[in-house]
Structure 1
Amino acid sequence: MTSGTVMGSDSPRDILGFIPAYPARHERRLPLLQLLKTLRQNAIGTYTREAFERDIIVYRLGFKPMILANHPDLIRHVMLDNAANYERDPVGKRMLEPGLGKGLLTSEGAEWKRQRRMMAPIFQPRRLAGFAEIMTDYSAALAEKLVALPQGQSIDMAEQMMLLTLDIIARTMFGADAATDVSAVGAAMDRYQITVRPNIPDLLGLPRWVPRPDAREGQRALAEMDSIINSLIRRRRDSGNPGSDLLGLLLTARDDETGSVLDDREVRDQMATFFLAGHETTATALAWIWYLLSHAPAVETKLHAELDTVLDGRPATYADYDRLIYTRMVIEEAMRLYPPAHTTARQAVAADRFGDIEIPAGTMVVVSPWIMHRHRLYWQNPDTFDPENFAPENAAARRRYTYLPFGAGPRICIGQGFAMIEAVLILATLAQKLRARLVPGAVVTPVAKITLRPSPDLLMTIQPR
């Protein structure tokens, strides 16, 4: 399907009816070799039309039993009610562990629970309030830079959002080491992510000694990143002053139940996890927001009206978060259409059952926000950009487990509060000062890497307000 505008004559919501681009949906499952190739290139391009119309699909990938879980009750069962029986899928862990180690995203069982207890105090509201000014200051500096561009000059807004969130996460994580070349960490993480794709040996469950494409380049990128992060950890420990930034909070984190602290490797793994989750995902969501607003002037006008009313020309602050209701609605709708964390999967440890469906041990249960957020059974006009989906009354009426931008259950993203505050303050600060318009003729496609990135570059021109 191509991008377009759907106009209606009766409903005010139809006026906001931009249908953004997405990969074609196949009428039937791809042959195995084509499926494996497409999974490696762009996983969301493998889905059939029925995936967006049926609630549970049982199938096999090679010899592996699979279930595509589009039923909210099954998602709840796997991710909450019987979560202890479902571990992160081995393919995903093999992809992420080289870069993220045994951090919150990849650890399991008692070790994950210990880490979660130790990380929870770091993301309390009082901590987040302290980071808000950093978010606004860097956003204001970027707004000033963008509005000063020569008229008609194009700029890659996806790259600008990456650089902005990189600056923010660097300052919040390494504030006491401002001289550190954090851009090198970001560049290394970006190079590493390019290599993190489902390899055919992994999908087929072949042993680790079977060569994987891009493995050497990924290892080189990780070595560069680790060199910088590990030196930061050593320098901070040696100084005797851990600091009050995220690194300092990790160094002083303590498990209330056992009294244990994090060793250097654990601190490194959490830093790499926070760096990816706190930088990449928010930047990706913001990039898609600019793309959507470029095609939806009615939404943009309403957004600007709220910003003008609530902020009245002053900078946004943490205290404004609860008042910027429509701003949040725009962000939530963008994450519905383009969820940065597009797919997750769990593997059954022991045999299980859901209704009349047998779930043998070893079954992979796939939960795809990309599908759930566009599913015909749970959303009206699911492919249409419409922030009114998240008006308070509509959000209250929505069925649980049909909107999963941060996951669900015990493993719901611990940084979701940080991410939402950051996205709201960035969007409010930038949209106060400028409009961004996709260059004429540009075709943008979502590509599923670790996050759901726009491809190719998101070239836009800037119009000062």
Structure 2
Amino acid sequence: MSDLPPKPASRPDKVSLLKYARLFRQDILSAQPARLYRAWMAEFRTPFFRSYLLNQPELVKTVLKDRPDDFPKSSRISEGLRPLLGNSVFLTNGAVWKQQRRIIDPAFEGGRLRDTFPAMWQASEAMVARLGHRVGETVEIEEETSHAAADVIFRTLFSIPIEHEVAGKVFSEFRDYQRTQPILNVGAFLPLPRWVPRFHKRRTRQAAASIRGLIAQLTEARMAEIMAGTAPDDLATKIMTTRDPETGETFSTSDMVDQVAIFFLAGHETSASALAWTLYLVARYPEWQDRIAEEAQALEGCDFSVMGKLRISRDVFREALRLYPPVPMMVRQNSCPEQFRERDIRPGSQMVLSPWHLHRHERLWDNPDGFDPDRFATENGKTCLREAYMPFSSGPRVCTGAGFAMVEGPLILSMLLKHYRVEAVGPAPVPVAYLTVRSKDGIFLRLTKR
């Protein structure tokens, strides 16, 4: 196809604060004006605070890489996610965050990716087998990629498949949660004391409490196995037994509930979103799925070295992450007076870093709205990859699981396309932001055997 992949319609440049808040709660993407795809910086004012969208690469670098301690995570972003994530590494700042990363990071370093590869392989094989029963049918592919990504998380974290009773319950509850919780809660727009309710939907609160209760069962059982010396050598055991090299402390069981919640959100929800959009894109551009299928003939056994041969799959997945970054916006808060682009910025303002806009910026990328996995071999693509590409954030707070995701996504994509062709069915999906970028009404594909 020569037409462009879909993106949401933009709102008019000027709307009232109340209308903006309503649009924002419904969908953060379509609430934004089209001019943000051209702007280096944009200011948004409310009666209580100011926000600045930063698209200029030098400004993004300042906030995320050069001076991250001066721009901590915004407390406003936690308003919507606190019921599920508690005090997880995704929400904390300062000394607490640094201690959490010192404990978590070793589990994802070096050879650990190689150690988790068999679990990813098994989850990929399981997805191929499940879809084998649906050949010729119309499949809502987000449901299938969610199932597969959750299976990867449970196999790599707790050495259990998605069919495990507790794992299955977590997955089911999370599907309800992610469709009811926007990225930012309405409370994020207001200067509310901590004791004032945050306007969470009752269904959202109940789902979060249920998920955390189920995760607590898994972590308590794992702690008992660790104490008994019978725990498997997986990510949960590694994280729960790693001591902070500075304090000697380990995570408690309650600490681990917070961390597992974000591992599930970051490792399952984001991977499911990215893989679903990738499959949709190759369904629209079938020449790319044929190239991936040919390359995937190298998948003959569970051997980590095969990932070096999946270059086309990697670039296709990378391009899908550009067009549909699972986390569309990140928010930081400046702790010092700043001056960006000759504009004075007061402490406490919100710095919005938007992969959604940065990845499609008209002044940075060639053919910004087009699907072109070959772009990363061009000079423009290489430059933008360094300066204007951040699906996993950037700097010290880059996602711990970025390397994990870049193995999981291309592997599952290659294994599926080795066995099946995919064809887009029905109207084009409209991307909206729930917890991640998903399709408003699903992504429907038809599978046929190769």
- The TM-score bracket by the shorter chain reads over 0.9
What is the correspondence of 1:18-97 to structure 2 with a 5 Å cutoff? 18-97=3-82
Cα distance, 1:208 vs. partner? 4.8
Identity level (%): 33
Return the match for 1:163 from 139, 147, 152.
147
Letter paired with 2:114: A
Q: Alignment partner of 1:45: what SS?
A: coil
Letter paired with 2:68: A
Letter paired with 2:295: E
Give distance in 2, aligned partners of 1:315 and 1:394: 36
Q: Which moved more, 1:369-378 or 1:226-235?
A: 226-235
Return the match for 2:91 from 86, 106, 109.
106
Return the match for 1:121 from 77, 90, 106.
106
- Counterpart residue number, 2:339: 353
Runs of 4+ in 1 over 4 A off after TM superposition: 176-180, 208-214, 392-395
Q: Which moved more, 1:182-191 or 1:323-332?
A: 182-191
Return the match for 1:252 from 234, 241, 254.
241
Asked if the contact 1:345–1:365 (Cα under 8 Å) also holds between the matched residues in 2, the reply is yes
Give distance in 1, aligned partners of 2:200 and 2:428: 28
Give distance in 1, aligned partners of 2:394 and 2:23: 27
Cα distance, 1:347 vs. partner? 0.9
Give distance in 2, aligned partners of 1:150 and 1:289: 19
Q: Which moved more, 1:230-239 or 1:67-76?
A: 230-239
Cα distance, 1:145 vs. partner? 2.9
- Counterpart residue number, 1:14: none
TM-score, with structure 2 as normaliser: 0.94
Give distance in 2, aligned partners of 1:340 and 1:412: 14
Q: In structure 2, do the counterparts of structure 1 residues 214 and 63 end up closer, same or farther at CA, with 3 Å as the change threshold?
A: closer
Q: In structure 2, do the counterparts of structure 1 residues 372 and 326 end up closer, same or farther at CA, with 3 Å as the change threshold?
A: same
> Would you say 1:173 and 2:157 are equivalent positions?
yes
What is the correspondence of 1:287-436 to structure 2 with a 5 Å cutoff? 287-308=276-297, 311=298, 314-315=300-301, 317-391=303-377, 395-398=381-384, 400-436=386-422
Asked if the contact 2:279–2:413 (Cα under 8 Å) also holds between the matched residues in 1, the reply is no
Cα distance, 1:70 vs. partner? 0.5
Give distance in 2, aligned partners of 1:431 and 1:398: 28
TM-score, with structure 1 as normaliser: 0.91
Letter paired with 2:233: S
Asked if the contact 1:318–1:421 (Cα under 8 Å) also holds between the matched residues in 2, the reply is no
Return the match for 2:431 from 439, 446, 451.
446
Give distance in 1, aligned partners of 2:217 and 2:260: 13
Q: In structure 2, do the counterparts of structure 1 residues 158 and 255 end up closer, same or farther at CA, with 3 Å as the change threshold?
A: same
Give distance in 1, aligned partners of 2:164 and 2:11: 50
Cα distance, 1:248 vs. partner? 1.1
Letter paired with 1:222: A
Q: Count the aligned residue pairs.
A: 445
> Would you say 1:235 and 2:188 are equivalent positions?
no
Q: Alignment partner of 1:181: what SS?
A: helix
Q: Alignment partner of 1:437: what SS?
A: strand
Alignment deviations for residues 334-374 of structure 1 (CA, whole Å, 9 cap, x no partner)? 00000001100111122122352322101111111000000
Give distance in 2, aligned partners of 1:229 and 1:305: 40
Asked if the contact 1:436–1:462 (Cα under 8 Å) also holds between the matched residues in 2, the reply is yes
Asked if the contact 1:285–1:335 (Cα under 8 Å) also holds between the matched residues in 2, the reply is yes
Q: In structure 2, do the counterparts of structure 1 residues 203 and 75 end up closer, same or farther at CA, with 3 Å as the change threshold?
A: same
Give distance in 1, aligned partners of 2:383 and 2:61: 18
Letter paired with 2:18: L
Cα distance, 1:49 vs. partner? 1.8
Q: Alignment partner of 1:66: what SS?
A: strand
Provide structure 1 residue ranges, at least 5 long, that are not aligned to the other structure. 7-17
- Counterpart residue number, 1:203: 189
Asked if the contact 2:48–2:189 (Cα under 8 Å) also holds between the matched residues in 1, the reply is no
Q: Alignment partner of 1:350: what SS?
A: coil
Cα distance, 1:139 vs. partner? 1.3
Alignment deviations for residues 32-62 of structure 1 (CA, whole Å, 9 cap, x no partner)? 2221111001101012121011111123134
Q: Alignment partner of 1:398: what SS?
A: helix
Give distance in 1, aligned partners of 2:356 and 2:67: 23
- Counterpart residue number, 1:459: 444
Give distance in 2, aligned partners of 1:381 and 1:350: 37
Give distance in 1, aligned partners of 2:135 and 2:51: 53
Q: In structure 2, do the counterparts of structure 1 residues 316 and 426 end up closer, same or farther at CA, with 3 Å as the change threshold?
A: farther
Q: Alignment partner of 2:363: what SS?
A: coil
Asked if the contact 1:316–1:425 (Cα under 8 Å) also holds between the matched residues in 2, the reply is no
Asked if the contact 1:327–1:424 (Cα under 8 Å) also holds between the matched residues in 2, the reply is yes
Instruction: Let me know the Cα RMSD of the aligned residues.
Output: 2.0
- Counterpart residue number, 1:272: 261
Cα distance, 1:136 vs. partner? 1.6
What is the correspondence of 1:140-151 to structure 2 with a 5 Å cutoff? 140-151=125-136
Return the match for 1:261 from 250, 263, 274.
250
Cα distance, 1:325 vs. partner? 1.1
Cα distance, 1:463 vs. partner? 1.0
Q: Which moved more, 1:219-228 or 1:101-110?
A: 219-228
Asked if the contact 1:337–1:374 (Cα under 8 Å) also holds between the matched residues in 2, the reply is yes
Give distance in 1, aligned partners of 2:378 and 2:155: 33
Letter paired with 1:115: Q
Letter paired with 2:155: R
Letter paired with 1:463: T
Cα distance, 1:120 vs. partner? 1.3
Asked if the contact 1:20–1:385 (Cα under 8 Å) also holds between the matched residues in 2, the reply is yes
Asked if the contact 1:136–1:429 (Cα under 8 Å) also holds between the matched residues in 2, the reply is no
Give distance in 2, aligned partners of 1:97 and 1:317: 39
Asked if the contact 1:317–1:425 (Cα under 8 Å) also holds between the matched residues in 2, the reply is no
Cα distance, 1:210 vs. partner? 4.7
Q: In structure 2, do the counterparts of structure 1 residues 285 and 176 end up closer, same or farther at CA, with 3 Å as the change threshold?
A: closer
Give distance in 2, aligned partners of 1:217 and 1:384: 38
Q: Alignment partner of 1:125: what SS?
A: coil
Alignment deviations for residues 232-286 of structure 1 (CA, whole Å, 9 cap, x no partner)? 2222223323431222112201111221111122111111111111111111100
